[in-house]
């Protein structure tokens, strides 16, 4: 985001013969007195956001600029490089060829069978919540170069995996698989979080084993290794087994909300949308810019009741909104 500006630039100075000019005849930038009427809080927020009030159409009396008039400028500002890119990350995916017929074979057939079995077996429901990631965006920005020098590519996904692992410890019934033949819920004491990876052959879910014991850097390194193996078409069999919960992200492609299908026989999955900047009200009733994300959960209603699902969602949000704690050992940051 560009630095705040105390006055409009020359590009927005008054036009025509009455526009103020310098001794050399060039137009002079508009002064604060020439800006539209606005409350001090509006001017303060505009300066913080780098929004030129001369460009804002005021909807208040006599054209007065209101706080809500700044909202369109928040949404239209280019996303900084440290936020997830808005452009689709779809290189290498198979979009099909028009006018052809393709036999459902190999991995694609296995995916299809697995999805059908999951939808037939599981009476699922979805739960969606909003999460303010402003502190996490800031923390990642501060750390990504340090991690990069150590050879670790720090994306947002390791934080989501770590937050999910912490929440699973607080709500153990979500860290569960359902043994339908025995009619038993199997509550696991290992926290193996699957990460859905889109490959040219189809969706693959390798597993970050013992995510609760790994720090964010270790999780990031593991996700990179697993994803690279899957996209190269050579995932290890042991990396595809043992998952107890799954995280899937559509944020890199651009979606806000999804309703993911549970990775049977697990009983829950978390979908992560893209980070978007929106104006929000803080606890004092003042509008501020925030980096928001929508988290979409799907649960097996035979095992996870609505209130329990909401409690799990709350736990994930709590950890994501206190991101520094995710960098600490569990005994300190849990």
Nearest residue to 59 via CA among 34, 37, 75: 37
Which residues make Cβ contacts (< 8 Å) with residue 164, sequence separation at least 6?
193, 211, 245, 247, 270, 316
Q: 240 burial class (0-12, 13-18, 19+ CB within 10 angstroms)?
A: middle
Compute the distance between CA of residue 319 and CA of residue 334 in angstroms, rounded to an integer. 8
Nearest residue to 248 via CA among 240, 256, 258: 258
Compute the distance between CA of residue 149 and CA of residue 46 in angstroms, rounded to an integer. 36
Which of 52, 57, 305, 319 is the catalytic position? Answer: 305
189 catalytically annotated: no
Nearest residue to 118 via CA among 310, 267, 313: 267
Phi and psi dihedrals of 298, rounded to 5? Answer: -120, 130
At 276, which helix (H) or strand (E)?
strand 276-281
At 125, which helix (H) or strand (E)?
strand 124-132
| Dihedral angle sign, alpha carbons of residues 298, 121, 115, 172 | positive
* b/e 118-150 (16+ beta carbons within 10 angstroms → b): beeebebeebbeebbbbebbebbeebbeebeee
**Distances from the Cα of 100 to the Cα of 96, 252, 326, angstroms:** 8, 29, 48
301 catalytically annotated: yes
- Using DSSP's 3-state secondary structure scheme, residue 227 falls into helix
Which of 212, 215, 301, 319 is the catalytic position? Answer: 301
Active site residues: 301, 305
């Amino acid at each position: 985001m560009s630095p705040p500006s105390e006055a409009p630039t020359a590009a927005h100075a008054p036009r025509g013969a009455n526009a103020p000019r310098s001794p050399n005849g060039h137009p002079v930038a508009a002064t604060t007195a020439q800006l539209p009427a606005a409350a001090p809080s509006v001017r303060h927020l505009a300066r913080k956001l780098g929004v030129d009030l001369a460009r804002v159409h005021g909807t208040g009396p006599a054209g007065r600029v209101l706080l809500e008039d700044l909202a369109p400028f928040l949404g239209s500002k280019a996303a900084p490089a440290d936020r997830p890119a808005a452009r689709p990350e779809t290189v290498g995916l198979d979009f099909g060829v028009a006018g052809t017929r393709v036999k459902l074979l190999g991995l694609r057939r296995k995916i299809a069978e697995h999805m059908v079995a999951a939808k037939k077996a599981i009476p699922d429901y979805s739960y969606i919540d909003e999460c303010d990631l402003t502190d996490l965006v800031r923390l990642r920005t501060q750390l990504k170069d340090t991690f990069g020098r150590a050879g670790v590519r720090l994306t947002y996904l390791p934080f989501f995996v770590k937050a999910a692992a912490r929440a699973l410890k607080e709500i153990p019934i979500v860290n569960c698989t359902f043994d339908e033949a025995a009619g038993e819920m199997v509550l696991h004491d290992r926290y193996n979080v699957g990460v859905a990876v889109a490959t040219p052959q189809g969706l693959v879910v390798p597993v970050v084993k013992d995510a609760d014991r790994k720090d964010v850097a270790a999780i990031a390194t593991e996700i990179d290794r697993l994803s690279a193996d899957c996209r190269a078409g050579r995932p290890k069999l042991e990396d595809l087994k043992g998952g107890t919960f799954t995280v899937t992200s559509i944020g890199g492609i651009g979606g806000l909300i999804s309703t993911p299908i549970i990775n049977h026989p697990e009983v829950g999955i978390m979908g992560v949308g893209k980070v978007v900047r929106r104006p929000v009200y803080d606890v004092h009733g003042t509008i501020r810019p925030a980096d928001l994300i929508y988290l979409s959960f799907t649960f097996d209603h035979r095992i996870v009741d609505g209130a329990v699902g909401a409690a799990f969602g709350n736990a994930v949000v709590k950890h994501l909104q206190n991101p520094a704690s995710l960098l600490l050992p569990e005994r300190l940051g849990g």
